Amino acid sequence: MARPTPQQEGFALKPLGYGDPLRLGPYRIIGTLGEGGMGKVYLGRDGSGEVAAVKVLRPELAHETHMSQRFVREAQAAQAVRSKGVARVLTAQTDGGAPFIATEFLAGPTLDRAVERHGPFPEPEVRALGAALARTLGDIHAAGLVHRDLKPSNIVLTSGGPRIIDFGIARPEHGLTLTTTGQAPVTPGYGAPEQVLGQRTGPPGDVFALGAVLVFAASGERAYQGDQIAVVQYEVVHGEPRLEGVPEALVPLIAPCLTRDAAQRPQPAQITSALAPPRDGRQLWKKGGLGDDIAEAESAAKQLATFPPAPGSQNGTAATGPAAGSAAPPPADSPTRRRVLTGLAAGGTLLVAGGGTAWWLTREEPPRRAHPWFALPLQDGEYEEGRAPEPLWGPRDVAFAQSPAPLVSRDLVVVGGKRDARVTAFSVRDGKRKWVSEAAFYQPLFAASPRLIVTGGSDGQLFGVDARTGAVERRHPTGMSVLLAVDARAAYCLVEDEVRCVELVSGKVRWRKPAPLDEFSGGRGISATAAGGLLVLATAKDAAIALDVRTGGKVWSRPGGSTGAGVPPVTAGGEVYLGGQSLSAVRLRDGEEQWSVPAEVNEGWSGPAVQGDAVYASAGSEVRCRGRRDGREVWRREVDGGVFAGGRPVAEGNTVWVTLKETAGVAALDTRTGRAAWVRRHKDGGSVRMTGAGNRVFLLTEGKLTAMPVI
C-alpha cells in the first residue's frame, strides 16, 4: 500500500455550517478558519476583493457582560495601536447584531512553527527579530497599553517583518489584572514574575516576555522549563533562565530583559538600539527556507483576493430575488475557490489573525507527525505482520564498529564517523552526510541544547560541537575516563575515583566529589542522568544516589533498584525509573519510592523505557508493559530467543523494540497489545545499539546505520 507524501497531508478550510453567517458587515463569509472558547474566525471578502479574518463572539457569550466587555476591549486595544508591527484592524462592530472584529489576513508562520520547521535562528536574524519586536512593543506602550501575552505563537512572520497579534488580554498601563490575584492569564515561561504573582503588570512585563521569546528563537529551547506548569512558574519567580543555547554575543543583551526586578529591565528603545541587526539580518523574512514559506503563503493569499464574484452577487454584494442562486461561470483560466483554498492549505504555512488571535487552518484529522522531519508511521495494510518492513534508508556504512549508540538531535542523527572516529552527522530523512567534525568521538553523545552536541575524545578532552555546522565550539581537557551525563550548563565526568562537574562554557570544574566507593564498588559500571537540578547515579551494585548539580552535595540515596552497568536511569514527569533487581519508580526530588516490582529471574530487569503513561522493561525472555503511575502490569509477551538484558527497550511510535539474546537481531512489539509486529535479523551479527526519535528507530550494528519505520 502506497504511503502518502507530505504534500497529500493537506489542511482544509471548513465549509460553512448550520448557523454560520453568510455576511458580517461588508464581508461575505467564504468559510471557517477556526474556533476557540470565545468565538469563531471566518474568512471574509469585501466588495473590493480584500480578504480579512473575521472574528465573531459566540452567540451564547454575547449576552455575558464580562465576555462582551473583553471582546470590546480587544477591538479597542487593537485599534488604538498605530504600528506596522501589529495586525491592522479593518473594522469592528461591537454594538447590536453579531459582534465581530475584522483584521488583515496575515500570511506566514508563527515564530514557534518557524523554529520547529527551520531550527533556531542565527545571531543576525535573532537581532533583526528582537529589534523589530522591541520597536513594536514601544508603539504598543506609547498607545498606553500593555500586551501581557507576548509569546512565539502570538508572533507572525511576514515578508515585512514580525507582526504581534492577539490583544485579547491587553490592558491600559494603569489597569489592574483582568482576574483576581493568582488567576491572571499567564502563558507559563513567558509571563513575568509580577504577572505570575497576580500583581499589576506594566510595560516591563512585556519586556520580560520579549526576553523569553528571544531565548526560544536563538536556542530552540524555553528559558524556563519544567514538566508541570507550577514548576515552570516557580522557576520564573525564583529560578534563573536557561541561556546556554543562546549565542554568547547575545546573552548580555537578552539576560537583562529577564531580570526578576521589573524596574531593572531595559526600555524597548534601548533593546532596539542594543540589538542593532546587520544590514543583511533585516532580510530574514525574504531569504532561505523561511522566506520561501512566507512567499508561498503570500502568493496563495493574493489568489484568494482574485476570486470571481460569488454566485448571485454583484461587486461582492449579495443579490436578492429569483436570480440570486445563479451566476455566470468564471473564466476558464480563473482559479476556482475550492482549488485555490485546497492548494493554499496543502502547504500548511498560512496563518491569519482574527481579531488579533492566530488561527492555523484546521486539519480534517489529527496530524501524524509533530515536526517536518518526522517520518510517517506505518498504517494497517502498509506492513505484513511478522515480517520486518523495508528500512526507510540504509544500511549505511557510516561508523566505526564499536561506536556508541547514535544521537538524534532534531533533524540530524549523529554517530562516530568511519574515519578516525570523528563526530559525523547525517540527515534523519535520507541518511545523507551533513558534516564531519574535528572532534574525536570515544564517549557517548549528548545534546546539551538543539545547537550544542557534547562528547569526549580518547585523550580525555571534552568537546562541544555546533549541531548546525560541526564546528568545535568547546574544547576542554578534563582527563575523564567516562562521560556520564550532560545538561544545559555542565558535563558530568568520571575522572579516576572522582565525579566532576565541568562547566560547558568555561571548562571550569564547578565541583568534584569522591566516587561513593561504599555504594558503587570503586565506581566501575557507573551510569547517570541529569534532570531537575540533580545528577542521578546508579550501578549494577543495586544502588542509586542523587547529587545537587550546583554543589555536588548528596540529596538522597537508596539501596536497590539500579539500572545495571552502563544503562542510565530514566527520568520523566518528576520521577526516576530504575531497573536491576527491582523495577521501580522513585520521586526525583527526594528519592521516595512510588512503586517497586521485584525481578522474577536472576538477571533482573533491564533498563526501563518510558513513553506516555507506560514503562517498558524486559526480564528473561519476556517484555512487559506497566503503568507509569502505579506499576500495575498492562501486558507481558514472550520473545523467542530471549531478550538481551544488558540494554533497554526503545519505545517509538506504537512500537517497543528489544535486542534479541540468542540470535543477532531485534524484535518490535505493538505497544498497545504487546503482539509481535516483526523480527529483524542482522546478517553481520554483532551487538545492536538503538535510538528512537521522530517516528524512526535507528539501528547501529557493526558500524552500519539503518533507519527503520514504526507503526
Per residue, what are the HEC states of 163-227?
Answer: EECCCCCCEECCCCCCCCCCCCCCCCCCCCHHHHCCCCCCHHHHHHHHHHHHHHHHHCCCCCCCC
Q: Which CATH number fits domain 375-395+600-711: 2.40.340.10, 3.40.640.10, 1.10.3720.10, 2.130.10.10?
A: 2.130.10.10
Residue 181: per-residue pLDDT: 33
Residue 710: per-residue pLDDT: 94
> In 3D, which of 376, 428, 366 has the Cα closest to residue 1?
376
Residue 60: per-residue pLDDT: 66
Q: Are 667 and 683 in contact (CB under 8 A)?
A: no
In the chain, the N- to C-terminal Cα span, in Å, equals: 14
Residue type, 260: R
Grid cell at residue 509: 570544574
- Does the annotation list 287 as a binding residue? no
Q: Is 602 exposed, middle or buried (0-12, 13-18, 19+ CB in 10 A)?
A: exposed
Alpha-carbon gap, residue 50 to 111, rounded angstroms: 25
Grid cell at residue 701: 550494528
Does CATH place domain 123-281 in 1.10.510.10? Answer: yes
Beta bridge partners of 476: 462
**Residue with grid cell 549523529, as numbered in its chain:** 414
The overall longest dimension of the chain from CA atoms, in Å, is 94
For 368, other C-beta atoms within 10 Å of its C-beta total: 15
CB neighbours of 442 closer than 8 A, spacing ≥ 6? 416, 421, 455, 456, 457, 458
Residues of the chain with CATH 1.10.510.10: 123-281
pTM: 0.64
Does CATH place domain 6-79+89-107+285-319+331-360 in 3.30.200.20? Answer: yes
Alpha-carbon gap, residue 416 to 424, rounded angstroms: 6
Alpha-carbon gap, residue 389 to 332, rounded angstroms: 46
Alpha-carbon gap, residue 3 to 223, rounded angstroms: 38
CB neighbours of 466 closer than 8 A, spacing ≥ 6? 451, 452, 453, 472, 473
Residues of the chain with CATH 2.130.10.10: 375-395+600-711
- Residue 39: its H or E element: strand 39-45
Alpha-carbon gap, residue 701 to 429, rounded angstroms: 19
Residues of the chain with CATH 3.30.200.20: 6-79+89-107+285-319+331-360
Residues of the chain with pLDDT under 70: 1-13, 36-38, 59-78, 94-98, 167-185, 227, 278-284, 300-371, 419, 516-525, 540-542, 560-567, 645, 662-663, 684-686
The separation between CA 80 and the C-alpha centre of its own chain, rounded to angstroms, equals 34
Using DSSP, state whether 343 is helix, strand or coil.
Answer: helix
